[in-house]
Amino acid sequence: MYNELINNATKDYPFLIKHINVKYIPHFHEETELVYVLEGELLFSLGMESYQIKKGDICIIPPHIIHNLYTEVYSETFVMKLFPILDLSHLRMDNHILKKDDPGYEKLSIYIKNIKDENETRAAYYKLAVNSNVQQVFLFILRETQHQILDGKIKEKHIIDNEILDNINLFLEAHYNEDLSLLNVAKHLNYTKSYFCRYFKRMTGMTFWEYFTLFRIEKAIQAMKETPKENITTIAGRAGFKNVRSFNKAFMAFQRCTPREYREKIK
């Protein structure tokens, strides 16, 4: 879980990307995000809740919501990160997923298709066309979805939670290759170990050790991309794994392939 500071949208233009076999660790960001499943299916998680989403489904994720996407089979998704023309951080959706039979689905899918097509063809004034459809998306969310407006105290609690999660992430960034214990992390936050375990599970839907392992795997993947000729054993050690055997086991569990197979894919 981390505050994603890469792949940002701007006030001038959204961040748009087509993903193959997307695998995100839990994260949150300032933008509103829409995920349109083009092919296959994925696991979509919001904190403790998980949903299976399939071809044609649309996910709406307001700002500051901890979420992740993971696939074990082939999938294609069109992901839109939209800079908040209007602040939606006070909004909580009753249902984050729209399916083909749901009211308003056809209208929203047309806006998404227009954005995708304009971004790909890049005809004259395509940015104007994309941004026009983005505004229609925000209007659709506000007018045609079931949602709740958080009161000041609840919104403040969400802000505090996100600050704490950022603090955890910064601590891991500095110490991920060390032999950390739950007590180390809990003390850093001035929590007891038992309270920290409950808090982390409630906020992210996974245990701290599951997340910490994913965090280290992400660091290893980054190293494989940046130094493609470096020895796998060296990369595993730098990422905090005690030996290459434990690294291979964890990598297979979360990526469904070995590190060497993954390296061949990214080549």
Interval 179-223: pLDDT, tens: 888 898 999 889 999 999 988 888 777 788 988 998 898 899 889
Which of 92, 123, 149 is the last residue before a domain boundary?
Answer: 149
Q: Is residue 7 part of a domain?
A: no
* Residues 47 and 135 placed together within one structural domain of the fold: yes
- Residues 244-260: pLDDT tens digits? 999 999 988 877 789 99
Which of 100, 124, 149 is the last residue before a domain boundary?
Answer: 149
Q: Which residues, 6+ apart, have CB-to-CB distance to 143 below 8 Å? A: none
pLDDT higher at 157 or 12: 12
Q: Is residue 78 part of a domain?
A: yes
> Into how many domains does the chain fold?
2
pLDDT at 193: 93
pLDDT at 211: 85
* Residues 129 and 213 placed together within one structural domain of the fold: no
In this predicted structure, which of 41-45, 100-104, 120-124 has the lowest mean pLDDT? Answer: 41-45
Is pLDDT of 109 > 90? yes
Domain carrying residue 236: 153-266
pLDDT at 13: 93
We report the CATH number of the domain holding residue 53 as: 2.60.120.280
Q: Is residue 84 part of a domain?
A: yes
Is pLDDT of 1 > 50? no
* Residues 92 and 38 placed together within one structural domain of the fold: yes
What is the DSSP code string of 24-85?
A: PPSBB-SSEEEEEEEEEEEEEEETTEEEEEETT-EEEE-TT--EEEE-SS-EEEEEEEE--S
* Residues 160 and 251 placed together within one structural domain of the fold: yes
Q: Is residue 48 part of a domain?
A: yes
Which of 117, 149, 181 is the last residue before a domain boundary?
Answer: 149
